[in-house]
Amino acid sequence: MVLPKSLFGQYYFRVKADFSIKEKNAEGQQQLVLGKVYFDKNTDKLIYDIAFPERETWVIHDTMLYKFGPDKNVLEKKAVPNFSSHSFFSLLLANKLKTFGLEDQNNYSISDVETDQNLVITTWSPGAQLKKVFGDVLVAQRNKQLTGLVIKNAEGRVVSKQNFDVYEIVSGLHCPTELTQVNFISDGTKTYKVTNFENIVIDDLEEDAMYDYLLPR
């Protein structure tokens, strides 16, 4: 007899939320994007149903990004970096966000651990084969909850900082509701992005068509 996974621990497979993204580029120009986001681990599709500034639906699946208009007509189709189980929403549903999934990466290992009062900062370093391309990742935790992430390049320069500022518990999961990211450009400039999530729903059993958005062949 096959026992349900729920007997061994909760299996989360879907998340949706209202989102807002405020971005500021290196030239100081600002942009606001509002909508809903959907993710299903089984279909491995990430869907942004955008309401503002224009009605569009973006679907990321495998190595492709599709942009659809209000009438589901294809506006754009392009290749993107591989969308994998290491994505933010996958890690959230797997309850592995606290280390950003690095404990499951065979090519990363802990090289240093520092403590500052109730903050624990762990440095994860890439293996020999990756050191030519990637640098260290610093993960900050407070009470075993991810609060910060610093990503360096192979030369040791910081290329990205992320803060996970606010959390709420939804269906037993600790869900970040405010993420702040700063990207450091090689010319010395910076870009900023603040993402907020509201009305988070875990394992929604409705809107199947949205979670498995139909893609063109």
**Do the bridges between strand 158-170 and strand 145-153 make them parallel or antiparallel, or are there none, so unpaired?**
antiparallel
- Measuring CA to CA, which residue among 197, 187, 153 is closest to residue 33? 197
What residue segments make up the domains of the chain, in order of their start?
A: 13-211
- Start-to-end CA span in the chain (Å): 39
Q: What is the mean pLDDT of the chain?
A: 91
At residue 186 the predicted structure's pLDDT band, cuts being 50, 70 and 90, is confident
Confirm if 180 and 163 have CB atoms less than 8 A apart: yes
DSSP state of 42: T
Backbone phi, then psi, for 82, in 5-degree steps?
-55, 125
Which carries the bigger pLDDT value, residue 2 or residue 181? 181
116-175 residue pLDDT tens: 888 999 999 999 888 889 999 999 999 989 999 999 999 999 999 999 989 999 999 999
Region 13-211: CATH code: 2.50.20.10
Confirm if 50 and 70 have CB atoms less than 8 A apart: no
At 8 the pLDDT is 45
Give the whole-number percent of the chain exceeding pLDDT 70: 94
Claim: this prediction has a pTM higher than 0.75: yes
Question: Is residue 209 classed as helix, strand or coil in its secondary structure?
Answer: helix
At residue 40 the predicted structure's pLDDT band, cuts being 50, 70 and 90, is very high
At 11 the pLDDT is 87
Contact residues for 135 (Cβ-Cβ < 8 A; gap 6+): 126, 151, 152, 153, 154, 155, 156, 157, 159
What are the strands, taking DSSP E only, across the chain?
A: 14-24, 30-40, 45-52, 56-61, 64-68, 74-79, 108-116, 119-126, 134-142, 145-153, 158-170, 173-184, 190-202
Tokens describing residue 182: 């700063």
- What average pLDDT does range 167-185 have in this prediction? 95
**Do the bridges between strand 119-126 and strand 108-116 make them parallel or antiparallel, or are there none, so unpaired?**
antiparallel
At residue 85 the predicted structure's pLDDT band, cuts being 50, 70 and 90, is low
Confirm if 212 and 16 have CB atoms less than 8 A apart: no
Confirm if 151 and 134 have CB atoms less than 8 A apart: no
- What average pLDDT does range 47-56 have in this prediction? 97
At residue 83 the predicted structure's pLDDT band, cuts being 50, 70 and 90, is low
In the predicted model, is pLDDT for residue 205 greater than 80? yes
